[in-house]
Copies of this chain bind each other. A is one copy, B any other.
Amino acid sequence: MSAYTPSETSRRSGFSLDTLRYYERIGLLSEVDRTPGGQRVFSDHDLGWLGLLRCLRDTGMPINQMCRFAELARTGDDSIADRVELLRAHAEAVEEQMALLERQYGHLRDKIRYYESELAARS
């Protein structure tokens, strides 16, 4: 169980220092350990959790939904069923998002091809 400074945690998680503090403030990150002097000390467990948060953020989950997830996680094992349900719903949303993205990416490629042919015709 290693200990990490705030800046190292920032580097490893990809969240800025301000964002880490913000996440703690809004309850996304619960009660990080402190030195006697009050500076934060992050654990491997915190880093793991941050990794999950990053995954959720990158897949577009809004903050308030992540807060609900965090809240469930704090209530212990009894909430696992609820958590898995939340994640499944999110996974479905992500699937739709990917489908839309791919469809629009196709249109984008079509448009590029069209412009390229215009370009060729003009030269």
Contact = CB atoms under 8 A, between A and B. Distances in A.
Interface of A: 52, 54-56, 58-59, 77, 80-81, 83-84, 87-88, 90-91, 94-95, 97-98, 100-102, 104-105, 107-109, 111-112, 115-116, 118-119, 122
Given A80-B122, A111-B52, A122-B80, A101 B105 contact: no
B52 A100 contact: no
A8 to B, nearest CB: 22
Contacts of A122: 77, 80
Contacts of A119: 80-81, 84
Number of copies: 2
Contact of A59 (B58, B83, B104, B118): B104
User: When A and B form their complex, which 5 residue pairs have the shortest distance between CB atoms, in order from nearest?
Assistant: A84-B115, A58-B104, A55-B107, A55-B104, A59-B104
B111 A55 contact: yes
A102 B108 contact: no
A91 B112 contact: yes
A54 B108 CA distance: 11
A4 B73 CA distance: 51
A102 B95 CA distance: 9
A52 B115 CA distance: 13
